[in-house]
Structure 1
Amino acid sequence: MASSPFFFLLLLVVAVASLLCPPAAAAPEEHLVTGVPGFHGANFPSKHYAGYVTVDEASERSLFYYLALSERDPAADPVVLWLNGGPGCSSFDGFVYGNGPFNFEPGTKPGGLPKLRLNPYSWSKVSNIMYLDSPAGVGMSYSLNKSDYTTGDLKTAADAHKFLLKWFELYPEFQSNPFYISGESYAGVYIPTITDEVVKGIQKGVKPRINFKGYLIGNPGTDVDYDFNSFVPFAHGMGLISNDMYEDVKATCHGTFWGNVDSKCQEKIDSVHWELKDLNKYNILEPCYHRPDIQEVEFANSSLPLSFRRLGETDRPLPVRKRMAGRSWPLRLALKDGHVPMWPGLGGRSLPCTNDEIATTWLDDEGVRAAIHAKSKSLIGSWELYTARIDFTHDTGTMVLYHKKFTALGYRVLIYSGDHDLCIPYPGTEAWVKSIGYQTVDRWRPWYFGGQVAGYTQGYDHNLTFLTIKGAGHAVPEYKPKEAFAFYSRWLAGEKF
């Protein structure tokens, strides 16, 4: 039987087929991360990869990523891209302090490397999750041509799309997996603009075809009128300002608390900002790490224009146990031409109310950089959670029209908000989601975790969902990791909250 002509013909067919249709290449082994300093466990619960993808050969403009494969079923589970905001904030923010595979603890010696333990609520439990430093100049991403650091929304989106196309060429085994984009804060601009590039590529038949299914964004900067007009009413509703102050500013400003207001209204708004200057704007329930005397100088005696001082939006206060955030919505500070000033670059000051020691200590260690295949400090400089290297212009407008476009095309969209965030208050987000005009299919109701109310949700047709997380701040996976993992895994699975 083995020597029959049929057998030899079968071998010939198999050989020809293997030449015409070679098996998909495996993930690039040179990007495999076999261990990282500070983690002393036997093995990672899944494979990790990290490295650079060059999006422009001439300038060697390269974007850095870290990928943690799903601990469940990497061949079938979704691939999810994670983006932090800023603009100028490294996505290692989310990796170190949010939904990454590790929990970071201070080292035993001052200045020593932190200790890493496995994160039981890592989003890699149910998905292949990739953290991308974008644009070039942010985090570990870089360019040999420093003019590339002058950028904006549209260039950032185009580069991210180039990155994705090249990344899926490097990892062809994931081309058929469902693909989602996720992030928080200024990712509210990054994600819709990147999605626009991805969808246009799909419609044009660009290869490799990305199996894009939708996106989810936390406390997203979306539309300045909705986002910033909600600040004063939210502060009043949370009991942060008196009813007398609220009624006074409301009457003077005629219910409009942002934009082209007169001097009397602006004076009232500034008084509200001053009253709240010592709060943690990212989570009003959490402590703020700052020295009041320095805070007084920043607000009262700054030589910056008033638009740079008001609200204290650049305080970016965060828990003492954590770091400086760099993920605020800086368009409160944007100039009329859309230019977004990078706060660390204003007078060379670091951000008040902040502490980024754990992340900086770990990511500036050359042993860590070698382990994750990142360039050395001598080549690309120190890692910064929030950088002033880039010169960024907000060259798009409201994102509401983007959301309407993609939901109308059938893509799934989840917009979620920590309900104690003073930076992008949830009422403004809830209002613009409603303004899209879709029919409500799941009326406002609580959702539960562990038998307790974890927040509230409202569902609309065209696969659009709004969700709040009770007690969470601007960075939901940081403040409420269990609840964040719960809604994330349920949403990916298509389950009701």
Structure 2
Amino acid sequence: MDKKCPRFLAVVLLGVLFLCPLCLADSELYSSANFPTTEAERLIRGLNLLPKDVNVVDQENESGVPQGKKIVERKFKFPNLVDPGGVSVDDLGHHAGYYQIQHSHAAKMFYFFFESRNSKNDPVVIWLTGGPGCSSELALFYENGPFSIAKNMSLVWNEYGWDKVSNLLYVDQPTGTGFSYSSDKRDIRHNEDGVSNDLYDFLQAFFVEHPQFAKNDFYITGESYAGHYIPAFAARVHHGNKAKQGAHINLKGFAIGNGLTNPEIQYKAYSDYALDMSIIKKSDYERINKVLPVCETAIKLCGTDGTIACMASYYVCSSIFNSIMALAGDTNYYDIRKKCEGRLCYDFSNAEKFLNKKSVRESLGVGDIDFVSCSPTVYQAMLVDWMRNLEAGIPALLEDGIKVLIYAGEYDLICNWLGNSRWVHAMEWSGQKEFGGSSEIPFEVDGSAAGVLKTHGPLSFLKVHDAGHMVPMDQPKAALEMLKRWTGSKLSEVSAESQNLVSSI
């Protein structure tokens, strides 16, 4: 085949999309010629957040990070913290800082670091929120961080914060997300190479700043579009360790919650999941599935070509999800048990209000930098990365003993458990057959079934009961127990009662 053929086919696919009534009829989004930005802003409004642009600032308006120093960090205590018990910033062990990204023009990456409430010997766990382009502070305050934001804008301790069993890092990335910023638009990232290299360089600098944690076990966690970030980041760390490129990072594993990792398999699962959950009818299912062959071809071209093919595949395949949502009405696609009132599926606006308070900004040392919850610019910049298959690098990590946990709340549509289960089972590695043949066992918390677990060797898949897209928000106790057992290599341990139940079935 001529080398130009894939690019030509990509253009043809893009043309077919705009001529195809099936692809267009079910979604108002495609009526806009500026679709990527419209889609990004729609998703952000759906979280009740303001669709701000991106933190690309004038040099004179920067937060005051000195040039030449890789990390500038301060210990802090949030104002409005309820009942802190007179503890000092040293007692809390809470840090906020900026990393001057090494291989960038002028980018600074913001992060939070919360030392474990239990022991400094606990693992170091980094959390990455998806989007792409959404701040990890959303998880900090609404999922698994040390605090939650009360209605009166005070902070209360989270009984199930992951800092109870780990030393916890939250990073605002890619550049332009959260409090991270640059004075040069060339620092906006478009693919996983840029994202993973920035994160790897950050870790190197972080462990120089905190050498007492450098030998701790290290785990990468996150959700949603972090299903792309995390495998690339883990592979980058593992490669750096093997090549002795910098200080050794004691990577033990990574966990992805309701992630987008292998789009070719996961997009095929949309209609199956929607039919199984009675979101659509059989006739709708058959009609929507007519787009699947075109979507599959487009994704394959994305893997072999580049920008044009990947954009084409995004447009083509998005019609599948949007066709389902057109039929689902006001269903919350992050949790199908719930309804969206208008487009306010969740209200995360207090995070923006809190982090933009003058007293909070002063305690964090962010200067005049705006907090950007989710950035349409970052979202749009990463669209060429969206349909790439990030599962491809995972088998090599499994073969080297890196633990992998894929977990998913059962009521999420957008990154549903069915699609995640399918790509995990289809992944080719030395333990594929044994994993596929292994028994499902109950994941119990306090004597009650909190999920269903399947595991073999370093690979585990956990379907979490009574949870949507954000498992730590919906089932905080189960999520904390999951992290504790997984990092302690005890995830698959079950009680005697559970073993008897499984054997009797």
Task: Report Cα offsets for 1:109-148 as digits up to 9, x if no partner.
Answer: xxxxx11110000000000010000111110111122221
Partner residue, 1:102: 147
Aligned equivalent of 2:409: 418
- 1:246 positional shift: 3.2
Partners of 2:263 and 2:104 in 1: CA distance: 37
> What amino acid is the match of 2:372?
E
Contact 2:264–2:389 under 8 Å retained in 1: no
Residue 280 (str. 1) matches residue 359 (str. 2): no
1:443 aligns with 2:439: yes
Aligned equivalent of 2:243, options 190, 204, 207: 204
Amino acid at match of 1:31: R
1:368-390 CA-partner distances (Å, limit 9, x unpaired): 111122x233xx3x212111243
Per-residue deviation, 1:79 = 0.2
| Counterpart for residue 361 of structure 1 | 353
Aligned residue in 1 for 2:20:
none
Paired letter, 1:73 = S
Cα distance in 2 for partners of 1:58, 1:455 equals: 43
Equivalent in the alignment of 2:133: 88
Deviation at 1:248, TM superposition (A): 5.5
1:335 — aligned with what?
none
Give the structure 1 partner of residue 124 of structure 2.
79
Structure 1 residue 466 corresponds to structure 2 residue 447 = no
> Does 1:400 pair with 2:446?
no
Q: Could you tell me which amino acid in structure 2 is paired with residue 286 of structure 1?
A: K
Q: Does 1:289 align with 2:378?
A: no
Work out which of the residue numbers 66, 74, 84 in structure 2 matches 1:31: 74
Asked if the contact 1:249–1:269 (Cα under 8 Å) also holds between the matched residues in 2, the reply is: no
Correspondence for 1:54 among 75, 97, 100? 100
Q: Relative to 1, partners in 2 of residues 1:170 and 1:290: Cα closer, same or farther, differing over 3 Å?
A: same
User: Mean alpha-carbon deviation: is it higher for 391-400 or for 273-282?
Assistant: 391-400
Q: Counterpart of 1:116 in structure 2: which amino acid?
A: L
Instruction: Give how far 1:51 is off.
Output: 0.7
Deviations along 1:28-49, one digit per CA (max 9) or x if unpaired, are 9951113434444223874111
Give the letter for the 1:418 counterpart: G
User: Secondary structure of 2:125's partner?
Assistant: strand
What CA distance in whole angstroms lies between the structure 1 residues aligned with 2:104 and 2:321? 48
Q: Is the 8 A contact 1:232 1:257 kept in 2?
A: no
Residue 477 of structure 2, aligned match among 474, 477, 482: 482
Moved more, 38-47 or 80-89: 38-47
Contact 1:80 1:127 in 2 (8 A): yes
Deviation (angstroms), 1:445? 2.5
Asked if 1:318 is matched to 2:357, the reply is: no
**Residue matched to 1:329:** none
CA distance in 2, matches of 1:52, 1:63: 5
Alignment deviations for residues 209-230 of structure 1 (CA, whole Å, 9 cap, x no partner): 1111111110111111111111
> For residues 128 and 270 of structure 1, do their structure 2 counterparts lie closer, same or farther at Cα, with a shift above 3 Å needed?
closer
Q: Which runs of 5+ in 2 are unaligned?
A: 1-70, 299-316, 493-505
Partner amino acid, structure 2, of 1:392: M
TM-score (norm 1): 0.74
Q: Write the deviation string for residues 260-301 of structure 1: whole angstroms up to 9, x where unpaired.
A: 59xxx999986533111411000111231316xxxxxxxxxx
Contact 1:221 1:227 in 2 (8 A): yes
- Cα–Cα, structure 1 residues 260 and 411, in superposed 2: closer, same or farther, change >3 Å? closer
Match of 2:376 among 374, 388, 395: 388
Q: Distance in 2 between matches of 1:358 and 1:268?
A: 33
User: Residue in 2 aligned with 1:433?
Assistant: 424
Instruction: Work out whether residues 228 and 424 of structure 1, in 8 Å CA contact, stay in contact via their aligned partners in 2.
Output: no
Aligned CA distance change for structure 1 residues 473 and 368 (closer, same or farther; 3 Å): same
Superposition CA RMSD, Å: 2.7
Larger Rg: 1
Are the aligned partners of 1:79 and 1:129 in contact in 2 as well (CA < 8 Å)?
A: yes
The letter for the 2-side match of 1:186 is Y
TM-score (norm 2): 0.73
Distance, in Å, in 2 between the alignment partners of 1:266 and 1:199 is 33
DSSP-derived class of the 1:31 partner: strand
Alignment equivalent of 2:452, drawn from 449, 456, 460:
456
Partner of 1:232: 271
Greater helix content: 2
Distance 1:445 1:229 in 2: 27
> Counterparts of 2:263 and 2:456 in 1: how far apart (Å)?
23
State the 1:467 CA deviation.
0.4
Matched-pair identity in % = 31
Q: Distance in 2 between matches of 1:105 and 1:478?
A: 15
Aligned-partner SS, 2:182: coil
| Between 201-210 and 181-190, the greater mean CA deviation after superposition | 201-210
* 1:63 aligns to 2:109 (yes or no): yes
Rounded Cα–Cα distance in structure 2 between residues aligned with 1:267 and 1:65: 36
Give 1:240-319 correspondences, 5 Å limit: 240-246=279-285, 249=288, 252=290, 258-260=295-297, 271-290=323-342, 318-319=345-346
Flag the 1:195–1:30 CA change in 2: closer, same or farther, 3 A.
closer
- 1:352 is matched with which residue? none
The answer (yes or no) to whether the contact 2:77–2:92 under 8 Å persists in 1 is: no
Higher relative contact order (CA 8 A, sep 6+): 2
Residue 38 of structure 2 corresponds to none
Deviations 1:436-461 (A, max 9, x none): 24122741222112222111111123
Q: Figure out how many residues of one structure are paired with residues of the other and give that number.
A: 396
1:378-417 Cα deviation digits (max 9, x unpaired): xx3x212111243335448311211111111110110001
What CA distance in whole angstroms lies between the structure 2 residues aligned with 1:464 and 1:394? 29
